[in-house]
Amino acid sequence: MRIDILTIFPRMFAGVLGESILRIAAEKGIVEYHLTDIRDYTTDRHRSVDDRPYGGGPGMVMKVEPVVRAVRDVRARASPEGRLILLTPQGETFRQARARELAREKRLILIAGHYEGFDERILEILKPEEISIGDYILTGGEIPAMAVVDAVVRLIPGVLGSDESAGSESFSSGLLEYPQYTRPAEFEGHAVPEVLLSGDHEEIRRWRLEQAEKRTKTRRPDLWRSRAGGKEAKGYDDEPSAGA
Ligand code: 9D3
């Protein structure tokens, strides 16, 4: 997969893409990261990427020309076009299902902004998919772009080892993870649950499932309700009747 990232802060990405699994995926040749500085596509003397909003109001707006020129140029550098994604607080919330879908693509082009917003003509002309990573306010789309890259790249076949691989995890089963322990068996009076030391693998499997279900019901009633088989039961912690 080729991933193009368009940003006015390309250096913000070096640390994240240059370590751990994202780096190894690139070293294995499974993914290529291409950073493009949107400022390189300005034509004015001051290399302006933003300007004041027509009609007044606070903040600055990302200019249309540099963004559209940058997208056209990276599109011309490689094919296929792939999917064009704009990181914006107005976008659809990013979830694991979207990550799985994007992991099947040959190419992604991500645009990260760093102002109050994008000139609406960027959306009219490029018609990108709009993605948000959740309901909290960040200073820009760079960290959301990194989150999307991280979530997607780890799902590409060959990126994770079979041990850590993607099928058996929390959001696949629809459950949160069970509690985990490693040595020592006791620390400051806190012991590892006896069952995990028993060697009874069937008993361990049952205990873990029970723990995962308990946690999901109390901490993520939204997940519990939407998971397969979770629908027939009723009465969870985030519902009006909870605790009554
Ligand atoms: C005052 C209106 N704000 C919109 C909620 C303006 C605004 C705040 C922060 C516009 C852009 C930003 C910068 N954030 C992003 O670009 C962003 C983001 C985010 O802040 N949270 C979650 N996902 C995303 S994706 C891009």
Give the tokens for residue 102: 């994007």
Asked which of 93-97, 157-161, 170-174, 198-202 is least confident by mean pLDDT, the reply is 170-174
Residue 143: domain span: 2-153
Same domain, 142 and 181: no
Each residue of 120-138: pLDDT tens digit?
999 999 999 999 999 999 9
- Would you say residue 58 lies in a domain? yes
pTM, entire model: 0.93
Q: Residue 234 above 90 pLDDT? A: no
Atom 13 in ligand 1: residue holding the nearest Cα? 140
Same domain, 85 and 181: no
Residue 39 is given by DSSP the state G
Atom 1 in ligand 1: residue holding the nearest Cα? 116
Q: What is the pLDDT of residue 229?
A: 58
Give the pocket of ligand 1 (CB within 6 Å): 87-89, 113, 116-117, 132-134, 136-141, 144
Split into its structural domains, the chain has a count of 2
Same domain, 41 and 90: yes
Domain containing residue 77: CATH number: 3.40.1280.10
98, 121, 153 — which closes off a domain? 153
- Would you say residue 187 lies in a domain? yes
Same domain, 227 and 188: yes
Same domain, 148 and 192: no
Same domain, 173 and 214: yes
Spatial contact of 9 and 114, defined as CB atoms under 8 Å apart: yes
C-alpha atoms less than 13 angstroms from C-alpha of 223 in its C-beta half-sphere: 19
Which residue is listed with tokens 């397969």? 228
Same domain, 55 and 90: yes
102, 129, 153 — which closes off a domain? 153
Which residue is listed with tokens 């550098």? 77
Same domain, 53 and 141: yes
What's the rounded Cα separation, in Å, for the pair 102 and 83? 8
Same domain, 8 and 100: yes
Q: What is the pLDDT of residue 232?
A: 45
Helix axes 142-153, 20-27, angle to 10 degrees: 60
Q: What is the pLDDT of residue 170?
A: 61
**Top-confidence residue, 72 or 166:** 72
Angstrom CA distances, 192 to 31, 172, 177, 208, stand at 40, 27, 16, 13
Same domain, 96 and 198: no
Domain containing residue 205: CATH number: 1.10.1270.20
Q: What is the pLDDT of residue 167?
A: 60
Q: What share of the chain has pLDDT > 70, as a percent? A: 90
Same domain, 200 and 229: yes
Q: What is the pLDDT of residue 165?
A: 78
**Top-confidence residue, 177 or 165:** 177
- Would you say residue 32 lies in a domain? yes
Mean pLDDT of 220-229: 88
Using CB atoms within 10 Å of the CB of residue 20, give its burial: 0 to 12 exposed, 13 to 18 middle, 19+ buried.
exposed
Q: What is the pLDDT of residue 227?
A: 83
What's the rounded Cα separation, in Å, for the pair 117 and 89? 9
Same domain, 63 and 133: yes
Atom of ligand 1 nearest to the CA of 139: 13
119, 153, 187 — which closes off a domain? 153
- Would you say residue 212 lies in a domain? yes
- Would you say residue 225 lies in a domain? yes
Atom 11 in ligand 1: residue holding the nearest Cα? 116
Q: How high is the mean pLDDT of the chain?
A: 93
Asked which of 91-105, 147-161, 171-185, 190-204 is least confident by mean pLDDT, the reply is 171-185
Atom of ligand 1 nearest to the CA of 131: 25
Question: Chain-centre distance of CA 230, in angstroms?
Answer: 25
Cis peptide, bond prior to residue 184, ω within 30 of zero: yes
Mean pLDDT of 179-183: 98
Residue 52 is given by DSSP the state P
Q: How sure is the predictor about 233, in pLDDT bands with cuts at 50, 70 and 90?
A: very low
